[in-house]
Amino acid sequence: MNTRTFNALMLCLILLACATAHGADDKPKHDHRAGSGVVSLDVYADRNRIHLLVATREAEKPPELQYQRSDDGGETWSAPMTIGVGQPPPEPAHRGMDAQIAASGEHIVAVWTTEGTEDRFGRGPMACAYSTDGGKTWSAGPNPADDGKASGHAFVDVAADADGTFHVVWLDNRGADTGKGLRYARSKDGGASWSANVTIDPATCECCWNTIATAPGGKVFVLYRDREPRDMAIASSDDGGQTWGKPVTVGRFGWNINGCPHVGGGLSILPTANGTILYSVVWTAKDETAHGDYVLSSADGGKTWNEPTRLGGPQSWHPDIACDGTSIIAVWDAYADGGTAVFASTSRDAGKTWDASKRLNPDGTTADHPRIICTRQGFRALWTEQAPGKSVTWVARRLP
């Protein structure tokens, strides 16, 4: 598949999603029940401990949430534990709208979207589960949304700060005149209760994942796709989520399209003695000359961003990024050899130059939606992968 064909295919998918999102109410729901194996994956690094949450599906059964933990940076993992027992399952669950997890010490919070009957896309209210003993036992928590609606909640993300407060964002359609908007809540008791909701942006893109991250000093950042134009934007709070500043565009591509890209971005934060450096990787499909993933950085807490650097060529998408004091690693997937493959590239000079990209999954397999995290033992990439005739599995690999 050449670049022109790939770009044309992406545009068709975006326009099809747009038509479905804005069409008549009698259109069929999205159906993500095909296939089996891992349909959702999220990972969270808390010091040297890694928390993994996947949803697995067997045939036509609802997905089941499974939790695993690694105490050695991903070298070994605990046995899978089913969580959310007695609660509505994650549905629809698919890569790009994954059930989410975050942790602070022994406190862990998982949040996901449940199936709804009032929404033609099947998106109902959110559900929450939390643990106070490092994942040994779990309790059902309340829905973070306080709008009382049973439809339209999706693309949730959750993170914890240094004080143990959990921060969650998602999209919902409580603003009837503006469509989907970006909402926020926080929990100071490990997910047992949630604050009154705050609207960060009342009008956003309707179907791209959001990324939330925290930094010392009560700083919270949310990377999301804006509506007009469909470029990525970042919103920030300096007081632990109580108030939010005006969003700033991350990569001014000027992509004006009434469609649903289904692609969010990656965000990584590097605290320094002089402040906070943000690294972001975003995706655009504005035109053939701009199509693909780009990495950007901000040295002033997200107020301004440098010029974007392209990664992976025009067929790259579904990106993520992580950094430490020495290196930055970006990961993404792209079409290769009849399917999608996962790639990685490293910068050792604060993003000025990048190594040649390297394929991470074996030949003969398809892989997509990679995640990258940084632990005390280095970087680790995770993704979903499928061999011919096999179910989808999750894969973790340590990167140098």
Inform me whether the pLDDT recorded for 285 exceeds 90.
yes
Domains within the chain, CATH numbers bracketed: 37-203 (2.120.10.10), 263-400 (2.120.10.10)
In this prediction the pTM is 0.92
Inform me whether the pLDDT recorded for 50 exceeds 60.
yes
The amino acid that residue 10 corresponds to is M
* Contact (Cβ atoms closer than 8 angstroms) between residue 143 and residue 125: yes
Please give the average per-residue pLDDT across 289-315, as a whole number.
94
DSSP codes joined into one string, 107-124: EEEEEEEEE-SSSTT-EE
DSSP state of 12: H
Please give the average per-residue pLDDT across 49-56, as a whole number.
97
DSSP state of 299: S
pLDDT tens for each residue of 135-178: 999 999 999 999 999 888 999 999 999 999 999 999 999 876 77
Q: Which of 85-99, 118-132, 311-325 has the lowest mean pLDDT?
A: 118-132
Per-residue pLDDT at 33: 43
Per-residue pLDDT at 35: 58
Q: Which of 19-28, 336-345, 347-356 has the lowest mean pLDDT?
A: 19-28
| pLDDT band for position 28 (cuts 50, 70, 90) | very low
Q: Which of 29-38, 196-205, 313-322, 352-361 has the lowest mean pLDDT?
A: 29-38
Per-residue pLDDT at 396: 97
The token pair at 117 is: 């009957």
The token pair at 366 is: 């398809």
Per-residue pLDDT at 24: 31
CB burial class (10 A; 0-12, 13-18, 19+) of residue 34?
exposed
| pLDDT band for position 329 (cuts 50, 70, 90) | very high
Q: How high does pLDDT run on average in the chain?
A: 90
Q: Which residues of 289-304 are buried (b: 16+ CB within 10 A; e: fewer)?
A: ebbbbbbbbbbebbee
Query: Phi then psi for 288, rounded to 5 degrees?
Result: -65, -30
Please give the average per-residue pLDDT across 67-72, as a whole number.
97
Sign of the alpha-carbon torsion through 280, 264, 50, 362: negative
Nearest by Cα to 138 from 147, 150, 127: 127
Nearest by Cα to 266 from 329, 219, 356: 329
Inform me whether the pLDDT recorded for 315 exceeds 70.
yes
Per-residue pLDDT at 14: 47
* Contact (Cβ atoms closer than 8 angstroms) between residue 110 and residue 100: yes
Inform me whether the pLDDT recorded for 259 exceeds 90.
no
Inform me whether the pLDDT recorded for 394 exceeds 80.
yes
Per-residue pLDDT at 260: 85
